[in-house]
Structure 1
Amino acid sequence: MKILGISGLENSVPFKREAWPGLDEHEYRMAQGMDSAAALVVDGVLVAAAAEERFDRQKHSARFPREAIRFCLAEAGLSIYDIDEIAHGFDYEPYRELYLHDSFSKARYEQVYSHEAILAQVQRDLPGCPLEKIHFVGHHLAHAASAALTSGWDECLVVVNDAMGEVESISVYHFREGKLQRLRTISANDSIGVLYSLVTLHLGFEFNSDEYKIMGLAPYGDPTRFRPFFEKHLELRDDGTIRIPILRLNHTRDECEYYSATRAYLEEHLIPHRQRNQSVNPNHEDVAAALQECLERCVMHVCEHFGEQTGLRRIALAGGVALNCTANGKLLRSGLFDEVYIQPVAGDDGSALGAALYRASLTDLICNRRMPTPLLGPGCTQIEIDAALARHAGKIRVQRFDSLRATCECAAHLIAEGKVLAWHRGRMEYGPRALGNRSILADPRRHQMRDRINAMVKKRESFRPFAPACSIEDAHRWFEISPGIHLPYMVSIVYVRPDMRAQLPAITHVNGTARLQTVSHADNPDFHELLLAVGRVTGGQMVLNTSFNVKGQPIVNTPDEAIETFLGTGIDCLFLENFYVTRATA
C-alpha cells in the first residue's frame, strides 16, 4: 500500500488578499493552510518527506506541494500512477453547512477549503491522477495520527494543540490498539495558540511564524507584573478544557478575520504594541514571560487532567504548540507521565505525514515504531555536487577528503579554532529543526560566538539562544539529564549543569537552559562521528548547531543553495559532503 500524504491550502492567502486588499502584510499570515508538505508511506513505513518551502524557497509556503511530491516519488522510484491513495490533512466537508449562510463564506469554502478546490490542484499539478484516489483527513486527526503512529507505543494519551484545525484548537485522544478515540475538543474560539500568536504580533513579531522568538525572549522577563492579566483571560475549567474570553470579543467578519477587537483590547489593557523598528525593552520581556507562563499553565492543565482521567502514563504531542520547547521541558520534568513523546514535525508540515499514516492505519498496514531523526528529505548525488562546484569554480577553493573521518577531523579542528562552518551532508531534515545535515556549526565554549554568528549570517535578535548538539554518550556530563536519555529532535528545553554553564556560554540561555539535541550513531552516524572528532580536540563532544539559512529564507536544500548561502554570508567555510570549500580570495 503506497499512500502519499499532503498538507497546505494554496488558495487561502490569495483569497484573503483579494477580499481584504490593503491589509498590513503581516495580517495576511492570519490564514489557514501554511507549511505545505508531502510524505510518502509505503506498506506502513515512512520513506520520504519534505516541506514545499525547501523547493520553492518561500518560507512557510502554502502552495500545493508539487515539488515535494516529485521528490518523494523519485526517492521511492515511483510514479503518481503507482500511488494507491493521496491523503490531504484537512477535511472541511463536515462543516460545509456553516459556510453556506452567505455568498462570501460560500465563495471562501468553494475556493479554499472544499474538496473540489484541492481536487482541482491535483488535476493541475498531477495530471492523470485518478481523483477517486484522493481522501481527506480531519486536521487534528492527522496531527494525532502523526504522533500516535510514530510513538512506538501500543497505548497512550495524545494531545493535539495548535492555533486551529478546521474548527478546534485542542483535541485529546486515547490511542489504543492502533485506533484513535477522541475524548474532548476545545474550540478555536478558545485557542491558546491564537492568543500566543496575537501577543507575538503585539510584541512586534510575525503572527504564525515568530512564536519561538517569544519563547526565547521570555526568560529575560519577570512574569509577575502581567501574570494577573493572563490569569484573568485564561480560564482553566474543571473538565480539563480552557476558555479565553478576549478571543470572543470579535463579532463582525472583519474582526474575526484579523482579531481586531482582541488586538484593540491588548492595546488598551496590556501595553502599547511594539513597532517593528523599536528596540525590545523590559515591558516586552515581562509580557513575553507572562505569556509563556500562561501557555505552560494551559498545557499542564490539559495534559494533567486527561492523564488523571484516563490513567495513562504515556503521552504523545503534536500541533504547532507542541514546538514550544520550554513547555515541553516543563512537562518532561513534571513527573505527570512516565514517558513524553513530541512528534518532531509537529507543525502543519507534519499533518501530511499524519494524513498518510492515518489512512494506512485503516488497512492495518502500519509499522508503529518511534520516529528516527527525520532525515527524510533530498540528499545530493556526486554529479550534483560536481556541477555545483564547477558553476562556482572562480569563487571558491575546494579540497576533497577521502573519508568521513578525515572530513570530521578537519572540521573539528576548525571548530576548535573558533571558525564558523556550514555542514551540508546526507538527506535534508523534515520539519523545522536543523538536526545536523543542514547546519551552521561552531564552538559552544566561546562567549562571542552567538553575536558573531548573528552578525555574519543569521541577522537575528540578540536575545535568542543557540542550541547545542551533543553526543548521547557525553550529554549527561553537561546537562541535567540521566545518562543515555534520548532527545534527538531538539524539541525540549533542559538545564545546563550549574558548574558547566560558564564553560558553555554560547548555548546556555539566560535562565541556565538549552534546547538540547542528543545524537547517537543510530540517529545520525555521520553527525555523531563529527561530534566524536570535536570531543577528541576540545574535550567535549558538542557543537553549537543552528539552521543553515539566512534570515527570512528556508533552510538550504541543494549544493547550489549551500554554496550561494556560504558565499553570501560571513561563514568561514563549507563542508559539502567530503568537500572542504573556502573562498577563492581567502
Structure 2
Amino acid sequence: MSIKKECYMKKTIAIYGVKDRDNYKYPGFVHDHNICIMDGGKVVDYLHLERYTRRKYDNRIDLFLEELIENKTINIEGEFDIIFVNSFEANSFISNNGKIKFESSELFPFPPKLVKSCFCRFNFGNYKFYEPNAYMLSHELAHIFTNTLFYGMFKENSLLIHFDGGASVGNFSAYHFKNNQLKFIEAHWELSHLSKFFNDNALTFAMLNAEPGEHTSVPGKLMGFAAFGKYSEKIEKFLIKNNFFKDIWNNHEFFFKEAYKEFNIIINKFDTKNKFLQDIAATFQKIFENTIIKKIKELNKIYKSDYLYYSGGSSLNIITNSKILETALFKEVYIPPVNNDSGLSLGAAAYLEWTKGNKIKKHSPYLNNIGIKQYEKYIYNENLLKDISNLLLKNKIIGISNGYAEAGARALGNRSIIALANSKNLARKVSQDCKNREWYRPIAPIILKSLANKITGKKINHLAKFMLLDFKILQSYQNKLEGVIHVNGTSRIQSIEKNDNPFIYDLLTYLFEKHNIYGLINTSFNKRGEPIVHTAKDALNSAKNMKLDAVVINYELIIL
C-alpha cells in the first residue's frame, strides 16, 4: 500500500485514544492510551498517558490532549499526517472541547487494515480548521508493527501474530510477510477463552481476590501464582466441563459444590495458600501454553515461515514465550518490549511511516520522553558507581530514574528499583513492604549477559534483554541469586550488554569485578496500583513514599 508523495516529508502523529464505555473506577474495555510522533522513520516523541496523569492504565487522553498540545508538552509544529488506532469499541475520537475530531471512513474493516480518506480536524492555536491527511489502522496491525521499531522491518518469510484480550475484529490475528507484502491469514475470537483466563474469568479473579474491573493487573498475578501449583489433566477436564467457571462472579458457591462433587475437597473461601487453587492456576497456564503453541504449529505447517513476530498483551506471558522458543520452529522469534496496548501508537506510526516509504529505524526501549527534559548533559563516573555499590552491599534499596523512561510494562534499568539479589528476605522487603505486592509474585533480576550465560548454562536469547523469557538457574549459582528465583526454580532474567544501558552495565560490572555480585533485583519503580515513575519529581516522591533508602535521579545519588 502506498501513500501519495506529498505525505513523505510530513511527520506522523499516531494516537490510541478510543473512548471507553463509562468512567469506571478501573479502565473497562479500553486502557493505556498513548501518543507517538515519528519523523523520517524515527520516534521523536512518545507518551504513555498514565505516566503524565499518574492514573494507572489511564484511558482519558481525550481530556488531556488539548492541554498537552497547548502548553507545548507535545510539540506538533508544522504539517503532519495523523493516524488513529481503533478497537472493538469504536473507530472515532473527539477531544474534551471538540477541538480535535476524527472519524474513520470505514467501520471495523475485515480483514484488519489501514483505512485511508478519514476525516480529522484540528481547530485551535495555529491549526484553525486544519485538516491533515488522516488514516485509521486496525488494532491488530498496530500491535504487529510495534515489532519494527525494535527489530527493523520484518524479515523475508515471516509469520506475524497478534494475540491479546481484544482488538477490533478478534483477539487473535495472523499475517504472512513475503516479498515486502503483507498477506492476511486470519482474525477471530476463537482463542478468546485463553486470554480471558488472565483478564475476564470469574474463578481467576476469585482465587486472586481481585475486584471486577482489575483485569489489567490480573495477568501478571496469575502467572506468578500458577508457579506454585501443578498441571492436572483431571482439573483441565473439570474446568472445560464447567466452561472454566468464567461467569461465577456472584455465585462462588457453585464452584465450591462442584469441587467437592468432583474431588471431594471442601472449600468455603478463596485462599491463595490453597494447593488445589494453585493447581487450578497452573492448569489455566498450561492450557494457555499448549493451545497457543498448537495454533502456531498449525499456521507454520502451512506457511513454513523462517521467523515469528509475536505481539499483543498475551506475549507478556514469559512462560509461554520460552515454550515457543523451545519448539525450535523458527530461526528466530521477535517480541517487542512494549507489547500491550501502551504501544499501539508506536505500531501505528511505524505502519504509516512504512507506507510513506520511510525506513523504520531501530530504537531502544527508552522512548517515554514527553514531559521529560533533555538529559544529554548528565554524566556519571566511577565514584557514583562506588557509592551506589557501597549502599547495595549494606542491603539498601535504591530507586533509579535516569533519562527517558521505558515504553511498555517492564522496567529495564531507567525506571527501576534495585537491591542485592542474593537474599530472599531483602527481595520480600522490596516486593511486599516497599511495593505492597502480593506474597506469591516473583521479583526479577538484571544480570550481565556474559554472567547470564554462565548461571543458566545456555546461550541467552536476545528476548531476555527485554525481560520476556524465564530461565532455570544452575544449582551451583542459586545461592548467589536466591532472592530472584521463583518457587518453580526459574528466574525472569533481564540480560544486559554495554549498549543496552551503559549505566546499569557499568554498575553490574563494577559489582561483579569488585565484590563478586552476580546480579541485582530489578523491579519497576512504582508502588502497586500506581504507574511507573516518569519525572524526577515523581521519582523522589515515590521513593519517599515507598521508604527506599536512596534514589538516583539523572545520575545524581540522593540519600533519603
Q: TM-score, normalised by structure 2?
A: 0.82
Alignment check: 8 A CA contact 1:7 1:38 kept: yes
Match of 1:290 in 2: 283
Does residue 141 (structure 1) correspond to residue 171 (structure 2)? The answer is no
Q: Any idea what the Cα deviations from partners look like across 1:391-446, whole Å, max 9, x if unmatched?
A: xxxxxxxxxx9833221221122112211111111111111111001111000012
C-alpha spacing 1:307/1:419, structure 2 compared with 1 (3 Å): same
Match of 1:409 in 2: 386
Alignment check: 8 A CA contact 1:6 1:38 kept: yes
Q: Any idea what the Cα deviations from partners look like across 1:212-270, whole Å, max 9, x if unmatched?
A: 1110111101221522235668xxxxxxxxxxx779x9xxxxxxxx8969999867756
Match of 1:44 in 2: 41
How far residue 492 of structure 1 moved from its aligned partner, in angstroms, is 1.4
Match of 1:186 in 2: 188
Q: Any idea what the Cα deviations from partners look like across 1:105-128, whole Å, max 9, x if unmatched?
A: xxxxxxx99649998996689964
Match of 1:236 in 2: none
Amino acid at match of 1:207: H
The 5 Å alignment of 1:410-559 reads: 410-482=387-459, 485=462, 487-559=464-536
Does residue 55 (structure 1) correspond to residue 52 (structure 2)? The answer is yes
Q: Any idea what the Cα deviations from partners look like across 1:11-46, whole Å, max 9, x if unmatched?
A: 4333xx5xxxxxxx5xx6441x21001122211122
Q: How far apart in 1 are the matches of 2:456 and 2:338?
A: 24
C-alpha spacing 1:483/1:356, structure 2 compared with 1 (3 Å): closer
2:200 to 198, 201, 204: 198
Q: Any idea what the Cα deviations from partners look like across 1:491-541, whole Å, max 9, x if unmatched?
A: 111221232123211101111111111111111112211111221233135
Q: How far apart in 1 are the matches of 2:352 and 2:70?
A: 18
C-alpha spacing 1:439/1:124, structure 2 compared with 1 (3 Å): farther
C-alpha spacing 1:359/1:11, structure 2 compared with 1 (3 Å): same
C-alpha spacing 1:179/1:291, structure 2 compared with 1 (3 Å): same
Percent sequence identity over aligned pairs: 23
Q: How far apart in 2 are the matches of 1:261 and 1:121?
A: 46
Amino acid at match of 2:421: P
Alignment check: 8 A CA contact 1:92 1:113 kept: no
Does the residue aligned with 2:483 lie in a helix, a strand or coil?
coil
Does residue 168 (structure 1) correspond to residue 194 (structure 2)? The answer is no
How far residue 72 of structure 1 moved from its aligned partner, in angstroms, is 10
C-alpha spacing 1:92/1:214, structure 2 compared with 1 (3 Å): closer
Alignment check: 8 A CA contact 1:416 1:537 kept: no
Alignment check: 8 A CA contact 2:226 2:278 kept: yes
How far residue 198 of structure 1 moved from its aligned partner, in angstroms, is 2.5
Match of 1:348 in 2: 341
Match of 1:34 in 2: 31
Q: How far apart in 2 are the matches of 1:437 and 1:316?
A: 26
Does the residue aligned with 1:184 lie in a helix, a strand or coil?
strand
The unaligned stretches of length 5 or more in structure 1 are 18-24, 97-111, 234-244, 250-257, 386-400
Alignment check: 8 A CA contact 1:445 1:503 kept: yes
Match of 2:263 in 1: none
Match of 2:7 in 1: none
How far residue 281 of structure 1 moved from its aligned partner, in angstroms, is 2.1
Amino acid at match of 2:19: E
Match of 2:359 in 1: 366
How far residue 169 of structure 1 moved from its aligned partner, in angstroms, is 0.9
Amino acid at match of 2:352: R
C-alpha spacing 1:285/1:574, structure 2 compared with 1 (3 Å): same
Alignment check: 8 A CA contact 1:73 1:80 kept: no
Q: How far apart in 1 are the matches of 2:426 and 2:86?
A: 42
C-alpha spacing 1:520/1:366, structure 2 compared with 1 (3 Å): same
Does residue 80 (structure 1) correspond to residue 72 (structure 2)? The answer is no
The unaligned stretches of length 5 or more in structure 2 are 1-9, 93-100, 108-117, 261-265
How far residue 63 of structure 1 moved from its aligned partner, in angstroms, is 1.2
C-alpha spacing 1:132/1:259, structure 2 compared with 1 (3 Å): farther
Q: How far apart in 2 are the matches of 1:273 and 1:186?
A: 37
C-alpha spacing 1:83/1:297, structure 2 compared with 1 (3 Å): farther
Q: How far apart in 2 are the matches of 1:367 and 1:157?
A: 19
Q: CA RMSD in A?
A: 3.8
Range moving further from structure 2, 204-213 or 158-167: 204-213
C-alpha spacing 1:565/1:262, structure 2 compared with 1 (3 Å): same
Match of 1:64 in 2: 61
Q: TM-score, normalised by structure 1?
A: 0.79
Alignment check: 8 A CA contact 1:52 1:68 kept: no
C-alpha spacing 1:186/1:121, structure 2 compared with 1 (3 Å): same
How far residue 313 of structure 1 moved from its aligned partner, in angstroms, is 2.3
Q: How far apart in 2 are the matches of 1:316 and 1:562?
A: 34
